[in-house]
Amino acid sequence: MSHFSNDDHELVDFLKQHRPSVPAADPALEDRLFDAIAATAQPTSLADRRASRSKRSVAWLVPSAIAAGLVATVVGYRTLMPAQPSATELASLEAFVESNWQGTLNNTSDEAPFGDVATN
């Protein structure tokens, strides 16, 4: 056991001397509690109990569905995001676009742009 200093004993004695008195118990408290319990509507039939169980089962399904939806959204977003192209892929794409653009600007032939299809 721990040994208290003299200051602690003085504090304990002071608190014992000045502690408040315990209030008297209400003699009608037990009757009021039983009356309140009896007044509370209790499901008596089996159908009432099943209905209350089904309400509880739906109540826990809603937050679970929300959480599952959030997880699916985060996972789906991560998997469906396109990968960032590398520097070589970007350079290849840029060269392709530039060569096609230059090809359309430098096309000086007198042929129809769509070949035989446009002349029909």
| Concatenated DSSP letters of 95-112 | HHHHHHHHHHHS---SS-
Question: Residue 96 has what pLDDT?
Answer: 92
**pLDDT tens, the chain, 120 aa long:** 566 667 788 888 899 999 988 888 888 999 999 999 888 866 666 666 676 677 777 777 888 889 999 999 888 877 777 778 899 999 999 999 988 888 777 766 555 555 555 554
Number of domains in the chain: 1
Asked whether residue 101 is domain-assigned, the answer is: no
| Cα dihedral sign, 65-68-73-79 | negative
Asked whether residue 55 is domain-assigned, the answer is: yes
Q: Which residues contact 51 (CB under 8 A, 6 or more apart)?
A: 43
Q: Look up the domain containing 66 and give its range.
A: 51-80
Residue 44, CB-side half-sphere exposure with 13 Å CA sphere:
3
Residue whose entry in the numeric block shows the structure tokens 């499901």: 43
Asked whether residue 13 is domain-assigned, the answer is: no
Q: Does the model's pTM come out above 0.75?
A: no
Task: Report the alpha-carbon distance of residue 85 to residue 90 in Å, rounded.
Answer: 6
Between the alpha carbon of residue 47 and those of residues 29, 50, 52, 53, 56, the distances in Å are: 34, 5, 9, 10, 14
Asked whether residue 58 is domain-assigned, the answer is: yes
Asked whether residue 75 is domain-assigned, the answer is: yes
Asked whether residue 102 is domain-assigned, the answer is: no
**Model confidence over 27-57: pLDDT tens digits?**
899 999 999 988 886 666 666 667 667 777 7
Asked whether residue 60 is domain-assigned, the answer is: yes
Asked whether residue 3 is domain-assigned, the answer is: no
